[in-house]
């Protein structure tokens, strides 16, 4: 089939030249293609370039332009006077033509004209129909992209205090062209770079970045379902761009909602515009959920809600109790007190940024202390009262961060580590928070002296004077 198509198209372009009484040299001047390549195309030595085909058909007012792809032996026919004010026609033309051109030995990215369909023409048309968005397209930077795209961004939103939203960081609507040219997707998507950087910050790889992106997509789908109803669930489908690169696969991972358009069954222009407006509506619903906050704060919030972290003391204690019940007969492994990356702040229900805590760290600290108060036997005359914890029948003690979590901004590494968490009986814990300053200071000094070396190993350096300041102890 491919050989037959190649010969038919070779004959087609040769006939156009001969009917207009032109030599191959003259045709080269008109088309901008070399005489050598025209000769090879007419003799079926190389595939006929769709770009060359379109150029000569327009130049000589040919009624039909065969835009073709030999993948699967499919021939597409587009009228020569096709209205260029049609997004679908331009997307179809780009998808078929550019994929084929990229595979040609003589392909040159820098001077290629077809890429302008996705970088200039389609964005211009979309912008004329969807005002209020920054619309831009990409076919690659210096080299052809595996997955080409056209995005719509609300640039009024900020990603954080110093960065604007972008296709690298933020939420947006995008048209993604499949790497194999079989069609394109309309997608509500997210910048994968944000998740990559978050993973790198915690010294983990791209696999974790994909897991974070998936958690975010799932959380955003739930938000959309609550806002728009069950009707949007049909768009909660994974996309397959036939991508091999990290970036190409990233688009697949960060997809929230999508609709696929097969190159052999594209919709009308009207239908596509309706679909685009619907996806922009989903986009607006997510923005409403963000209110006037930064996108990064919103991400931190939804990722926190899908994690095992907690913000409030009461929630932490409740979670610890649940964990004790679940791990009743499981021994604690050796503590890992190497420096840990500090987590991002999360906005609580009052809009105040707080550092989340991992109940697992508190559980390990209490178990490592043998379910005893760590001040036991260290202060003369101090009484320690215990009662059995109902979840595991062990002594009830409470986890206390020696350096308060509220001081996290002053430290490079996380304070939510077992080196900084002490197991205290209820009496000692309450005394540290609510007792007289002279009694509080006595307890803190003891705790500081037997924890300072472990704190240093966790990358946390602090003097006792500074610790006193955090507890507002008067001199």
Q: Strands 74-79, 64-69: parallel, antiparallel or unpaired by DSSP?
A: antiparallel
Q: Which residue has the tokens 């409030």?
A: 312
Which residue numbers in the chain have pLDDT < 50?
A: 1-2, 67-83, 309, 311, 350-351
Per the DSSP assignment, residues forming a β-bridge with 174 are: 151, 187
Burial (CB count <10 Å: 0-12, 13-18, 19+), residue 19: exposed
- In the three-class reduction of DSSP (H, G, I as helix; E, B as strand; rest coil), residue 230 is classed as helix
Burial (CB count <10 Å: 0-12, 13-18, 19+), residue 110: exposed
Per the DSSP assignment, residues forming a β-bridge with 42 are: none
d(CA 11, CA 3): 12
Which residue intervals of 264-406 are DSSP H helices? Answer: 269-290, 295-305, 313-326, 359-368
Which pLDDT score, from 0 to 100, does residue 338 have? 92
CA torsion angle for 451, 454, 459, 465 (degrees, to 10)? Answer: 20
CA 258-263-266 angle, to 5 degrees, is 70
d(CA 257, CA 217): 9
Which pLDDT score, from 0 to 100, does residue 352 have? 55
Which pLDDT score, from 0 to 100, does residue 420 have? 95
Which residue intervals of 187-294 are DSSP H helices? Answer: 192-201, 206-228, 246-253, 269-290
What is the Cα 383 distance to its own chain's centre?
Answer: 53
Which residue intervals of 20-146 are DSSP H helices? Answer: 24-31, 35-42, 50-59, 87-102, 116, 122-129
- In the three-class reduction of DSSP (H, G, I as helix; E, B as strand; rest coil), residue 450 is classed as helix
Q: Which residue has the tokens 């947006």?
A: 172
User: Quick one: tokens of 342?
Assistant: 């500090």
DSSP per-residue letters across 232-243: GGGG--------
User: Quick one: tokens of 207?
Assistant: 């696999």
- In the three-class reduction of DSSP (H, G, I as helix; E, B as strand; rest coil), residue 84 is classed as coil
Using alpha carbons, select from 95, 36, 41, 97 the residue that is nearest to residue 65. Answer: 97
Per the DSSP assignment, residues forming a β-bridge with 388 are: 395
User: Quick one: tokens of 141?
Assistant: 């930077």
Q: What secondary structure letter does DSSP report for 401?
A: E
């Amino acid at each position: 089939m491919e050989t037959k198509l190649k010969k038919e198209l070779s004959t087609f372009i040769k006939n156009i030249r001969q009917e207009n009484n032109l030599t191959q040299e003259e045709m080269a001047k008109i088309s901008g293609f070399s005489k050598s390549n025209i000769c090879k195309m007419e003799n079926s030595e190389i595939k006929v370039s769709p770009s060359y085909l379109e150029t000569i058909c327009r130049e000589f007012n040919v009624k039909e332009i065969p835009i073709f792809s030999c993948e699967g032996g499919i021939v597409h026919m587009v009228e020569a006077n096709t209205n260029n004010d049609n997004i679908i026609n331009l997307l179809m033309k780009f998808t078929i033509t550019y994929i084929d051109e990229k595979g040609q030995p003589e392909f040159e990215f820098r001077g290629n004209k077809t890429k302008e369909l996705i970088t200039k023409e389609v964005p211009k048309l979309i912008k004329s129909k969807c005002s209020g968005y920054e619309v831009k397209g990409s076919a690659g930077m210096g080299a052809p992209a595996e997955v080409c795209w056209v995005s719509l961004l609300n640039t009024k939103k900020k990603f954080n205090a110093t960065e604007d939203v972008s296709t690298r960081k933020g939420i947006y609507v995008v048209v993604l062209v499949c790497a194999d040219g079989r069609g394109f997707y309309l997608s509500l998507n997210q910048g994968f770079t944000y998740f990559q950087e978050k993973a790198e910050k915690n010294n983990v790889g791209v696999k974790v970045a994909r897991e974070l992106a998936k958690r975010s997509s799932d959380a955003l789908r739930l938000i959309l379902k609550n806002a728009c109803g069950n009707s949007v669930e049909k768009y909660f489908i994974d996309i397959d761009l036939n991508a091999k690169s990290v970036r190409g696969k990233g688009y697949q991972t960060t997809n929230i909602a999508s609709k696929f358009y097969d190159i052999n069954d594209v919709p009308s222009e009207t239908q596509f515009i309706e679909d685009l407006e619907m996806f922009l509506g989903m986009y607006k619903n997510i923005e409403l959920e963000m209110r006037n906050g930064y996108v990064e704060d919103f991400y931190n919030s939804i990722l926190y809600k899908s994690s095992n972290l907690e913000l409030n003391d009461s929630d932490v204690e409740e979670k610890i109790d649940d964990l004790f019940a679940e791990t009743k007969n499981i021994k604690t492994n050796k503590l890992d007190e190497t420096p840990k990356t500090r987590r991002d702040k999360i906005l609580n229900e009052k809009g105040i940024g707080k550092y989340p805590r991992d109940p697992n760290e508190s559980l390990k600290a209490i178990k490592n202390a043998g379910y005893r108060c760590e001040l036991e036997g260290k202060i003369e005359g101090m009484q320690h009262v215990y009662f059995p914890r109902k979840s595991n029948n062990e002594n009830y003690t409470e986890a206390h961060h020696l350096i308060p979590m509220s001081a996290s901004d002053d430290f490079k590494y996380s304070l939510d580590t077992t080196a900084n968490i002490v197991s205290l009986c209820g009496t000692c814990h309450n005394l540290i928070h609510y007792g007289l300053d002279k009694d509080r200071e006595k307890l803190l000094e003891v705790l500081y002296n037997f924890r300072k070396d472990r704190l240093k190993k966790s990358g946390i350096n602090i003097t006792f004077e500074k610790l006193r300041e955090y507890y507002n102890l008067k001199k």
